[in-house]
């Protein structure tokens, strides 16, 4: 980045002051919280996130430095629930990602299914390709069963998410089948559960850090008392 395009020191300072102001407003909103999903807290959170991101970018552009904290972006959070208090219908949206780790195992499993389904000798050849084998297996087994037996089918789990959304009444038959996920209202999400390898990596990092602390304690003999002399009772 050229010097002409760099932010000034005054701009960086102003951004830092904006973070301080946003932090104060967020704390005040939390202290006045009217409920678990108070919209004022949500708005203050978004303002703090935006101010922190702007400061971080200016700090990096001017001084090639970053902040030691990170506030999740607003796109990673859900707005306060604004659906019916007593929903009469719900929709459960599920996405599970897999990678085809062992294509030959996948093909073999599909062939076994076809051998049973078409015992009369009908030759569909659907199991002869990976995409055909996937169609055979997902047509034969429920998604939950595939999730629990994915390794048998040569699949490797990726990220997964489950959203439960509230509705005023059940949808008409066939109404949403062409675009099942396009009409989701984030404010009607009752709960959400995510599974990702990213979380496992974070836990592993924490465990490694804890193990490192234990090693340090061993080196310093913080846990043992073998080297301590007994106290003299007469002292």
Q: Is 23 exposed, middle or buried (0-12, 13-18, 19+ CB in 10 A)?
A: middle
The H or E element containing residue 160 is strand 155-167
Q: Which one, of 162, 163, 169, lies nearest residue 84 by Cα?
A: 169
In this structure, the number of other CB atoms found within 10 A of the CB of residue 109 comes to 22
224 vs 171, which has greater pLDDT? Answer: 171
Q: What span, in angstroms and rounded, lies between the C-alpha atoms of 167 and 83?
A: 7
59 vs 35, which has greater pLDDT? Answer: 59
In this structure, the number of other CB atoms found within 10 A of the CB of residue 155 comes to 23
Q: What span, in angstroms and rounded, lies between the C-alpha atoms of 103 and 107?
A: 6
pLDDT tens-place string over residues 83-114: 888 899 999 999 999 999 999 999 999 999 88
- Is it the case that residue 149 has pLDDT exceeding 90? yes
Give CA separation, 64 vs 1, 14, 54, in Å. Answer: 11, 17, 14
pLDDT tens-place string over residues 55-70: 988 998 999 888 887 6
The H or E element containing residue 52 is helix 39-63
Residue 173: DSSP 8-state = T
Q: Among 32-46, 81-95, 140-154, 216-230, which stretch is predicted with the lowest mean pLDDT?
A: 216-230
- Is it the case that residue 227 has pLDDT exceeding 50? no
Grade residue 218 by pLDDT with cuts at 50, 70 and 90.
low
- Is it the case that residue 5 has pLDDT exceeding 90? no
Query: Structural domain boundaries of the chain?
Result: 3-76, 89-197
Give CA separation, 217 vs 152, 205, 208, 210, 214, in Å. Answer: 44, 18, 14, 11, 5
Grade residue 6 by pLDDT with cuts at 50, 70 and 90.
confident
Grade residue 37 by pLDDT with cuts at 50, 70 and 90.
confident
Q: What is the pLDDT of residue 215?
A: 56
Q: Which one, of 38, 14, 43, lies nearest residue 26 by Cα?
A: 43
Residue 235: DSSP 8-state = -
């Amino acid at each position: 980045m050229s010097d002409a395009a760099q932010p000034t020191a005054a701009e960086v300072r102003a951004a830092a002051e904006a973070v301080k102001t946003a932090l104060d407003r967020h704390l005040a909103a939390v202290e006045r919280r009217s409920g678990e999903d108070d919209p004022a807290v949500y708005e203050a959170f978004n303002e703090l996130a935006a101010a922190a991101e702007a400061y971080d970018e200016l700090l990096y552009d001017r001084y090639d430095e970053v902040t030691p904290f990170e506030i999740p972006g607003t796109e990673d959070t859900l707005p306060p629930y604004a659906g019916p208090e007593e929903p009469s219908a719900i929709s459960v949206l599920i996405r599970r990602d897999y990678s085809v780790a062992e294509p030959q195992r996948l093909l073999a499993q599909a062939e076994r299914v076809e051998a049973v389904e078409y015992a009369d000798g009908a030759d569909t050849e659907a199991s002869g390709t990976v995409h055909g084998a996937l169609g055979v297996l997902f047509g034969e087994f429920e998604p939950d069963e595939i999730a629990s037996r994915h390794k048998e089918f040569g699949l490797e789990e990726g990220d997964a998410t489950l959203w439960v959304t509230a509705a005023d009444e059940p949808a008409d038959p066939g109404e949403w089948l062409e675009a099942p996920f396009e009409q989701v209202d984030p404010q009607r999400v009752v709960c959400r559960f995510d599974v990702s390898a990213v979380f496992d990596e974070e836990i592993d990092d924490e465990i490694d850090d804890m193990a490192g602390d234990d090693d340090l304690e061993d080196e310093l003999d913080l846990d043992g008392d073998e080297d301590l002399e007994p106290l003299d009772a007469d002292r």
